[in-house]
Structure 1
Amino acid sequence: MVNNNDAARPRAGSTVAYNSAPNSDEEMGRAFAVHPRHASRVVLPINARRGVWESICKLLTVCMLPVLLVLSIRIFLLGQYIIPSGSMEDTLLVNDRVLTTHGLTLNVGHLQRGDIVVFHDPAGWLGASGDGRFDKDDFLIKRLIGMPGDRVQCKGAGSPIKINGQTIDETAYIKPGVQPSSLRFDVLVPAGHIFVLGDNRDNSADSRYHSSDGDGGMVPIDNVVGVAFMICWPLKHWKRIDTHRDVFANVPNSNADNWKQETAQ
């Protein structure tokens, strides 16, 4: 009487050929029984190979998702810049890294006085002074002082700055010991532009110094690429950047027509 189990089991010395990969653990066991010294050559069963591939895919997903997330945030939401000069001291120090609104999160229509803005060089400012330049690009960073239509003026020699006739107290952010402006100026900010100053007024080639360029020292709003909101590095400088909106709280709305009439008299 033939034992079915014995018939199914390969005999010693016999040769069993597998023309395809084993499809089950049972077939895998038979393959090992026939070729115990060449077990490493046995192909994994299909279900085992599928499990390995799924594990590899999961590992790649776990590793790649954080990278893709960081890249997406960097490209579409936030910008990061290294401060190259002392023009914004003591608010921002040399080599500080700042995070800015960028791409999808930047709404230039919501710019306000006090914002610290990053913008493309509007009219060769960097070629003239090299002030506030970021490495390998043409960006600068300054504080937004005047909005479109604002009249911004200063008598110089330590006098305070006025916006639309309202004197503002800038001691909250100007570098200690530095006066609001040693230069005298009286300007009207044109439509689609902003007037910017560095917090370290004695070491900032800003809107005051470029009155003879194509935009009269003004920065086109279209040039703005971000608004700085946080210092992220070094860790000891980590903090949210204060825009000091309270400084401008009493500034009245601009009235360009009245200013034109006044200067014409």
Structure 2
Amino acid sequence: MSDVTDGAKSEQASSAEPSTEPSAAEPEGSTDAGTDSGTDGTEGKNKKKNSRPFWKELPLLIGIALVLALLIKTFLVQAFSIPSDSMQNTLQRGDRVLVDKLTPWFGSEPERGEVVVFHDPDGWLRDEPTPKPNAVQKFLSFVGLMPSAEEKDLIKRTIAVAGDTVECKKGGPVRVNGKALDEPYIFEGNSACDDMPFGPFKVPDGKIWVMGDHRQDSSDSRYHTSDVNKGFVPVSQVVGRAVVIAWPVNRWSVLSVPDTFDQPGISAAAGAAPGVLGVAGALPFVIRRRRRLTSGRTAG
């Protein structure tokens, strides 16, 4: 009896232990497959939730692009359109130029020979009609993607800067600090200033003297000597230097400074330097001589 009982207990115990063999009713790997599919499904749902349609991100991308364009226009470069013939043949009507607005932030001022864009200093364009841009043009000009039609800006070549003496007599060349300018950029058939001789004028501090390359078709400093600035343009009104013709493509070129503005002795500071050095060198001898005279009188 005891053997049967023990055998029954042993059989019950062995049947209570989990079987390591796969059941015929359940195919192998069914549990693992169910778990994996559940995990993949969750990850797929998360990916769908995290990914956003492109059309939802498009306004953000456009906003970033507009902010960058506005910053570039304000601090780096700005495009300007040439509306007249006053700078022919260097610039043609309809050209688009890029103007450097960065260097003025670091104290850079216009130099002789540079082509500069500046705000109307004192009604130079009062007789010019002002275009009426539409809303789209206003927006594009605001972010710097096209020139502003409402701003009264001019573009000319810097001829003389603060401290320079500039003049031009009929039949003669423009002279800066006594040095004649060789101006191959002047429009063919034009004289240097026969239509409006001027000077000599000394350029005040903080001002520049500007002229158009098409001398007989340019209302520049020569024609405004009776205004509040005496024809000079305040440096504070200068937007920046035009550095390149960007459009049309077949006219792409860099607006460099002509060699004539680098000729020796053209700088007013350089011209004054020998005199200053001469006075400084002679000063010790003058002081010594005065001391000798004073001591001689005292001894006598």
Query: So what's the TM-score if we normalise by structure 1?
Result: 0.72
Matches of 1:164 and 1:110 in 2, distance apart? Answer: 19
> What's the CA shift for 1:73?
2.6
Tell whether 2:240 aligns with 1:241.
Answer: no
C-alpha deviations, 1:88-132, integer Å up to 9, x for none?
0000000000001014665553421000010000010001467xx
Q: Does 1:75 align with 2:74?
A: yes
Indicate whether 1:173 and 2:172 are aligned. no
1:11-31 per-position Cα deviation (integer Å, ceiling 9, x unaligned): xxxxxxxxxxxxx952786x9
Pair 108,210 (structure 1): closer, same or farther in 2 beyond 3 Å: farther
Is contact 2:181-2:260 (8 Å) kept? no
Q: Could you tell me how far apart the structure 1 residues matched to 2:215 and 2:148 are?
A: 19
1:249 Cα offset (Å): 2.1
Partner of 2:87: 88
CA distance in 1, matches of 2:168, 2:252: 33
Q: Does 1:45 find its partner at 2:58?
A: no
How far is the alpha carbon of 1:201 from its aligned partner? Answer: 0.3
CA contact (8 A) 2:109 2:235 kept: no
Query: Which secondary structure does the structure 1 equivalent of 2:244 belong to?
Result: strand
1:141 to 155, 158, 169: 155
* Structure 2 counterpart of 1:196: 210
The 1:127–1:239 alpha-carbon spacing in structure 2 relative to 1, beyond 3 Å, is: same
Q: Distance in 2 between matches of 1:210 and 1:233?
A: 31
Is structure 2 residue 117 aligned with structure 1 residue 118? yes
1:160 has 2:159 as partner: no
Deviations 1:165-207 (A, max 9, x none): 111111x211111101022211111111000000000000000
Q: Decide whether the 8 Å contact of 2:80 with 2:96 is kept in 1.
A: yes
- SS of residue paired to 1:127: coil
Superposition deviation, residue 49 in structure 1:
1.6
| Partner Cα separation in structure 1 for residue 218 and residue 251 of structure 2 | 22
Q: 1:28 to 1:219 in 2, by over 3 A?
A: same
Gaps spanning 5+ residues in structure 1: where? 11-23, 32-43, 259-265
Letter aligned with residue 198 of structure 2: F
CA distance in 1, matches of 2:37, 2:59: 29
1:66 offset after TM fit, Å? Answer: 5.9
Structure whose residues are more often helix by fraction: 2
Taking every aligned residue pair, what percent have the same amino acid on both sides?
35
Change (3 A) 1:6 1:173: closer
Per the alignment, residue 98 of structure 2 pairs with 99
Aligned to 2:234: 220
Amino acid at match of 2:222: R
| SS of equivalent residue, structure 1 residue 45 | helix
CA distance in 2, matches of 1:108, 1:194: 15
When the two chains are superposed, the root-mean-square deviation of aligned CA atoms in Å is 3.8
Which has the higher mean CA deviation after the structures are superposed, 147-156 or 62-71?
62-71
Cα distance between partner residues in 2 of 1:8 and 1:25 = 9
Q: Does 1:230 align with 2:244?
A: yes
Aligned: 1:253 with 2:268: yes
Cα distance per residue 1:131-151 (max 9 Å; x no partner): xx9732111000000101111
Secondary structure of residue in 2 paired with 1:214 = coil
Mapped to 2, the partners of 1:150 and 1:111 lie a distance apart of 13
CA 1:77 to 1:68, structure 2 compared with 1: closer, same or farther past 3 Å? same
**Is 1:208 matched up with 2:222?**
yes
Letter in 2 for 1:176: E
Relative to structure 1, is the Cα distance of residues 67 and 136 closer, same or farther in structure 2, using a 3 angstrom cutoff? closer
How far is the alpha carbon of 1:69 from its aligned partner?
4.6
Please tell me whether Structure 1 or Structure 2 has the larger radius of gyration of its CA atoms: 2
Change (3 A) 1:178 1:104: closer
1:25 to 1:103, Cα distance in 2 relative to 1, 3 A:
farther
